[in-house]
Structures are given as C-alpha cells and as structure tokens.
Structure 1
Amino acid sequence: MEKKCIAGIIVVLVVVIAAFGAYLLLTDDSKAKDESYYFYIQMEEGYDNEGLPHESSVMQEGFWVKANGDNALDALQNICEKNDWKISISGMGGESTGLYMSSLFGVEGTSIEGVYLYWASYVWDDDMKSFTYSNLTLDQIVSSGHPEYVSLVYKSYIAGTDKPPVATPDDIPKDVL
C-alpha cells in the first residue's frame, strides 16, 4: 500500500511539473511577439551610385527589406551586416538620449549650397494609413507584438515641404515577406 501511495505522488508530481512547463512555454511573451521590421528605403536626391545596393532608378523609387531585432536600429544593423551595407550610428548628444543612423550605404547628411540633405525616418500609422515623420530615434522604435514598418528616406530639408513616402505595407513584394 505504501509503495502505491509513493508511486501515486510521483505520478502527480510529474504531471504537475509537465503542466507547469507547458504553461511557461505557451505563455512566453518573447515567443508570441513578432519582432519583424520592414524597412522602405528610398533616396530622393543628392547621391552617387558608389556603394549603393541598387541602381539609381531603384534607389529613387525605393525598395523594401525585412529584418529582425530588438528594436528598429538593431534590426537595421542586422540587415546591413547580412548584406554588407555600410551603416554608421551616432548618439544624440547633450541631454537627448537615443541612437540614430547617421549614414547608410556611406551616404551621410550634408549641406549643398545651403540645402541640407539628410536621412529622415518615418513610421507607419495604421489609423492614417500612411507613413508619418518619426520624432523617435531608431533605437526607440520597438515592435509591439506585430511587424513594424519604418521608412528611411534620404532627402533635402526645406521647411514646410516634408512629404512622407507614398509606399504602404501592401506594396511589400512577396519575396520580402
């Protein structure tokens, strides 16, 4: 009788431990969270073709890439490393925190004849169904359990004329998804 009781206790313990392990496995937030980032990269003006991943017409039209990471900057660095693309990261400095991309493909912000050329970042706004200018640095853009869509556009800064990219997540080619 005593052996049956001990065997019963062992069976119950095994079942409880297995159930607890299954619970932990199924409720692990990191497994359910999609940390995918889709980047729409476009260069409107002010560059030469050296070091770019595509010919100028594709760069002007823009292209999509997918990457994974803890935040948009981490994902961008991962895709750059995978494709051997040049990227430079800088800190905001001063009282500002965060890291931003200061150069992509060797193309960095510059001023030509009083016009400032720079990399602008946009995030997808589901409510507006369009990209909106991002006031966050790339390391502050994090996935909230679904893919994040980020656009990086090399463009000139002219006050009051900023237009977000017209691309949408529906434009992502099947081979990128």
Structure 2
Amino acid sequence: MNRNGRTRKWLAAGAIAVAATTIAGCSVDGTAVREGGVDTGHVDTDQFDNLLSECEVLPGPTIAKAVGGTSADPNFFGANCRWIVSPQIIDVTFNWFEWGDYNLEKETAQNMGFTTENISVRSQSAFTQRDPQRPSVCGVTGKATAGGIFTWWVEPEAPQGGDPCAAPIKLMELILSGAY
C-alpha cells in the first residue's frame, strides 16, 4: 500500500473515532479552573457588584435633555450602555473602556473610514468621529479622567438638523464635569 493509502486510512479511522465519541457523548469529571488558577470551590461575586455602574453615570432625564428629547429608556446595559430617547427616537450609546487607548481608538475610527476632528472637552483631549455614509450620526471619544476612554454616540432615526456632534459633545461635557 502506498503512503497516500495509509494516510487516507488514518484519516478515516480518526473521523470514525470522533464520530463515535460524539454519538456516545463525552464527559469530564472535575471543575474547570482557569490556567494558573486554583479551584477554591467559591466564586467571589463581590467583584461584580458595580460591573454595570458606568451605565448609570448619567441619569436618563439628563441624557434625554442633552440630546433634545423628553425621556431616555435604557435598552441594553453591558459592554456598551444604550438608551432610546423619545419622542423623536434617538439612539444613544456610551462606553467606558478603562484600559482603552485614545490614539488606537482614533486610528481605528479612521481605518473604518470615519472622519475625525480633534477637539477639547473640559480641557480633555477628545475627537469627533463621523461616518460619511450616515451624516446625521456622530460619536465623541475623550480621555476619561479616571483612566481609559469614554465614547458617546448619538444616532437619530431621522436627521435633526444642526450640528450632529453637538449632542455627544454635551454628553461628554456632562460626564467630564461630574455635574450630573
């Protein structure tokens, strides 16, 4: 038998073994432990108590007023915080990347085809980012006073007129001033 024949037999045998294991089921005894970690049998949930508190950094009425609405209803709190502002339906998104890099964020926006403009918000370096395909949408990223970066995005369902970056700049001013 030539080498290719042996290789095909080994591959077929391997495929049969994988299929048999899948059909029969497979289980592993014990507890999963992160590499280098120690299984204590206890999960410290205290470390997660304020995991989403950054989503509460500005109250809904303050967000609504800043973007020209009357109410802001949260629709997702996670890695990004999102609200829908009514009555004119404006999506507002906030994120705080505690270890985020300002220059990398700006470079990423530019690589995505967004136009950026350097600005200063409450004496902090910031930049606007705009997608030429969606002229009524604007994001503002600034250096967070406690480290990392803050970003606010404001996306109206229908064009509002005026400067689309005015609302996210206002939100950035509020969060940087602590006057909320």
TM-score for both structures, normalised by structure 2: 0.27
Query: Quick one: higher RCO (CA 8 Å, sep 6+), 1 or 2?
Result: 1
Give the greater-gyration-radius structure (CA): 2
TM-score for both structures, normalised by structure 1: 0.28
